[in-house]
Amino acid sequence: MIDLHELVKRRGTRAVADALCLRVRPGETLAINGPSGSGKTTLLRLIAGLELPDSGQIRIGGKSVDFHDAVHTRGIAFLFQSAALWPHMSVASNIMFGIHDQPMAWRQTRMLELLNRVGLAQFADRRPDSLSGGEARRIALARALAPQRPILLLDEPTSNLDAELRAQILALIAQEREAHGTTIVLATHEHSDAARLADRCLTLRNGHLTEGMAP
């Protein structure tokens, strides 16, 4: 599903990816761990096409990524580390943003379903600036899940959530994966998140991936 071959990305003299190779199988959930600043977010952004590698190849579904293609055409949904909600849109409109090409009745049904599942059914008409950090995080997840894309990239999905909400969100992600066969790449510091969701765990350090989670 996702293949990275000899991927190189540098920030000044520091290698975020140093001839990095990675294969993520269809339907697999891969957790990527590593110290702050190791490049986990950058690696997700490279896969999504939000940043360009210095060299190397990225293939999605067996097809080489053309970085001139629109990101949404790659079948990828991205939950950013910051909620990154559109401030001028309501919660409902934020969630439905990525499914604007679907019939209105389906869009509204999907939006209400996800709001219920993240425990914020009463928030449809709110604006993002009225939300707490945890609430905004849950709305951002609902927006990422709404299109049911085959690849889901998650950057610290349970940040700003207490233990009860963390368990609820992880369960929702797992349910969506089982229902749709979603391929997931998860960047996280939380060992419990990786243990709950991941089929495989890797650590990113100095531009290289190694098996297992960092202590």
What is the tens place of the pLDDT at every residue in 146-165? Answer: 999 999 999 999 887 888 88
Query: What does the pLDDT average to over 69-91?
Result: 86
DSSP state string for 163-189: HHHHHHHHHHHHHHHHHHT-EEEEE-S
Mean pLDDT value across the chain: 90
Using the predicted structure, report yes or no on whether residue 105 has a pLDDT greater than 80.
yes
- Sorted by sequence, the CB contacts under 8 Å of residue 117 that are 6+ apart come out as 142, 172
CATH architecture of the domain with residue range 2-211? 3-Layer(aba) Sandwich (3.40)
Nearest C-alpha neighbor of 75 from the set 149, 131, 162, 7 = 149
Residue 214: per-residue pLDDT: 64
Which amino acid is it at 9? K
Q: Where are the domains of the chain?
A: 2-211
Q: How far apart are CA 54 and CA 175, in angstroms?
A: 36
Using the predicted structure, report yes or no on whether residue 215 has a pLDDT greater than 90.
no
pLDDT digits (tens, 9 = 90+) for 40-64: 999 999 999 888 899 999 999 888 7
Which tokens belong to 116?
Answer: 């219920």
> What count of residues does the chain have?
215
> Please, how many CA atoms are within 13 Å of residue 82, restricted to the half-sphere of its CB?
4
pLDDT digits (tens, 9 = 90+) for 85-95: 999 999 999 99
Using the predicted structure, report yes or no on whether residue 71 has a pLDDT greater than 70.
no
Residue 75: per-residue pLDDT: 87
Residue 153: per-residue pLDDT: 96
Query: What does the pLDDT average to over 170-199?
Result: 91
Query: What does the pLDDT average to over 63-78?
Result: 77
Query: What does the pLDDT average to over 91-106?
Result: 92
Using the predicted structure, report yes or no on whether residue 35 has a pLDDT greater than 90.
no
